[in-house]
Structure 1
Amino acid sequence: MKEQQPRISDAETREMQHYLLDILTAIDRVCKTHHLNYYLIAGTMLGAVRHKGFVPWDDDADVALPREDYDKLIAHANEWLPPHLELVSGVQNPYYPYAFARIQNKNTTYILRRCFNFVGGLPVDVFPLDGMTRNPVARYIHYKRYDVLIRLMYFAQRDPYKHGRGISCLFIKMCHKLLSQSWLHRRLDALQRQYSIEKTGLVSDHDNKPERGIQPREVYGKPTPVCFEGHTFMGVERPDSYLRYCYGDYMTPPKQMPPQNFRYLDMKQPYEEYIKEHPIKN
């Protein structure tokens, strides 16, 4: 498996963003054609408000759909998307290492920064939006269970030799043998569905920590048009409330750039070709 690449140049970042924009455009088209609600979220929503497009150094993009619409997208996206794109999740591939889906470009190769044995294409992350209890004790237990399952999925997929050979290596190998990927995906999916938005009035993006991943339903509201790189996509209804809750003073850029989200990227080689040249165990 390739080692971590140096940070890509501004020109390469911009080229990468053009690929991501193509995926976002396809998602928007599919959702509008099939009457699915979606939102730009996280740094992509931030970029829409602060930059009218990508945050200049962003190397990813994020959208989210309410659970019912998310399920429809998971079931049918690969019928609806153009041929060069595909959706991947734990439903399509049990070795996919996340509790949310991705729509990826099949003509590229993208390897996550974390040491998983998973190779795919350059993706846009697609998250489900579920409800969340208002009871603080029940919420604490819910997120503790979620964290345990996420950690087990990490152990079940992590490169056992990431930290060399020794006791930790044996523990990871044991997790590989004993933990079923399909079971972990089913348990994570069921846990995320535990509460409904309609009954609780709260929206949870489980990929975020509770202190910034739970917001009132009214903040998301009705998907609202927002300008992004010259296109009109759908954002949250109350972007200021959403972004202040997530980022605080969101109009002030950070002093340091975050690490890039991948350790290997090739925008010209299909990932299936890469896998043939670099076979992986899974």
Structure 2
Amino acid sequence: MNTISFKESREIMLETLDSIDKCCRENNIEYSLCWGSLIGAIRHHGFIPWDDDIDLMMSRKDYNRFLEVYNDDKFNIYTPLKDKNCVHLLTKVYRKDTRVVFNNYKKKSLWGLWVTIFPYDNVPDVGLKKWEMKRTLLTKLYLFKTFRYFNNEKLILKITKFILQISLAFCSSFTLAKKIEKHLSKYNQIKTKKICIWDCSFGFSRFFYFPSELFEEYVDVDFDGIKSRMIKGYDTFLRMYFGDYMQLPPEEERVPSHDYVAYYV
């Protein structure tokens, strides 16, 4: 397999973003750049110079619609809601002829150079703690069932995972993923004060809350020459999560956030 350079990987991600954007515009699906990609669009008009991925976010309704209609021969969607062999709760769109190998995991990934899509959901104005408790239980069960990649797990965690994986033997990861989606979507038919974005990466799960009004309007934005979209309330969103996002981090922190090597296959 031939290694893909940092510059080439970005070109592939931009190609992926362009494919996603075209699908969304053709099907009236709204989306926004997210996290560091949104900072990059505002501060650098594209990638943050040291960034190594692209993140997007969609409402659950638009996200489900996207999974239904997206069709590009050059790309695949990696998500437990479409692929029953998928063991991660993240949704990634990746080019078929690429793969990535993470240096701190035992196994190579099942996807290539990617764009991640984060769905967001309405959360209840009343009874939030109860909703969170069930959400946390379901996501932890999923992670314990599917996650096997850390090299440096403590013995007690390995034993706990083994016991839980046996107890969950007759419940598929796909079934658990559908249960999680059903729970997260419970309040999407009503207008609520806050939305929640779920970041479920390797072995951990984090939930971030934002005012719903930030997601009511979207505008076009240039991302390294690709016409993309972002929420009109991006400034409040970024300040809530990052603080002064226009301030560059210390030089020693200007490094890629993912430790992987990409290849053509």
- Which bin holds the TM-score, normalised by the shorter protein? 0.7 to 0.9
The alpha-carbon deviation at position 214 of structure 1 amounts to: 1.8
Match of 2:111, SS state, is strand
Matches within 5 A, 1:75-224: 75-77=68-70, 80-81=71-72, 83-112=73-102, 115=105, 118-135=109-126, 138-159=127-148, 162-163=151-152, 166-179=155-168, 180-196=172-188, 198-207=190-199, 209-210=206-207, 213-224=208-219
Aligned residue number for residue 17 of structure 1: 10
CA distance in structure 2 between the aligned counterparts of 1:132 and 1:52, rounded to whole angstroms: 32
State the structure with bigger RCO (CA 8 A, min sep 6), 1 or 2: 2
Structure 2: state its 5+ residue gaps: 200-204
Report percent identity of matched pairs: 23
The alpha-carbon deviation at position 197 of structure 1 amounts to: 6.8
Q: Tell me if structure 1 keeps the 8 A contact 2:120–2:196.
A: yes
CA distance in structure 1 between the aligned counterparts of 2:176 and 2:119, rounded to whole angstroms: 17
The alpha-carbon deviation at position 221 of structure 1 amounts to: 2.2
- TM-score scaled by length of structure 2: 0.84
Residues paired across the two proteins, number: 252
Aligned residue number for residue 202 of structure 2: none
The alpha-carbon deviation at position 232 of structure 1 amounts to: 1.9
Cα distance change of structure 1 residues 70 and 185 upon mapping to structure 2, 3 Å threshold:
same
The alpha-carbon deviation at position 125 of structure 1 amounts to: 0.6
CA distance in structure 2 between the aligned counterparts of 1:44 and 1:228, rounded to whole angstroms: 9
Larger mean CA deviation between 252-261 and 21-30 belongs to 252-261
- RMSD (Å), alpha carbons: 2.6
CA distance in structure 2 between the aligned counterparts of 1:197 and 1:13, rounded to whole angstroms: 42
Give every structure 1 segment of 4 or more consecutive aligned residues whose post-TM-superposition deviation is greater than 6 Å: none
Write the deviation string for residues 204-262 of structure 1: whole angstroms up to 9, x where unpaired: 2122845xx22222212222111110222110112211111111010112221466324
- Relative to total residues, which structure has the larger helix share, 1 or 2? 1
Q: Tell me if structure 2 keeps the 8 A contact 1:100–1:125.
A: yes
Larger mean CA deviation between 164-173 and 16-25 belongs to 164-173
Structure 2 counterpart of 1:176, one-letter code: Q
Larger mean CA deviation between 161-170 and 178-187 belongs to 161-170
Write the deviation string for residues 120-174 of structure 1: whole angstroms up to 9, x where unpaired: 1111111212101223xx2233233333333322222232783479554343333
Structure 2 residue 30 is matched with structure 1 residue 37:
yes
Aligned residue number for residue 263 of structure 2: 267
Q: Tell me if structure 2 keeps the 8 A contact 1:99–1:188.
A: no
- Relative to total residues, which structure has the larger strand share, 1 or 2? 2
Cα distance change of structure 1 residues 267 and 69 upon mapping to structure 2, 3 Å threshold:
same
Aligned residue number for residue 253 of structure 1: 248
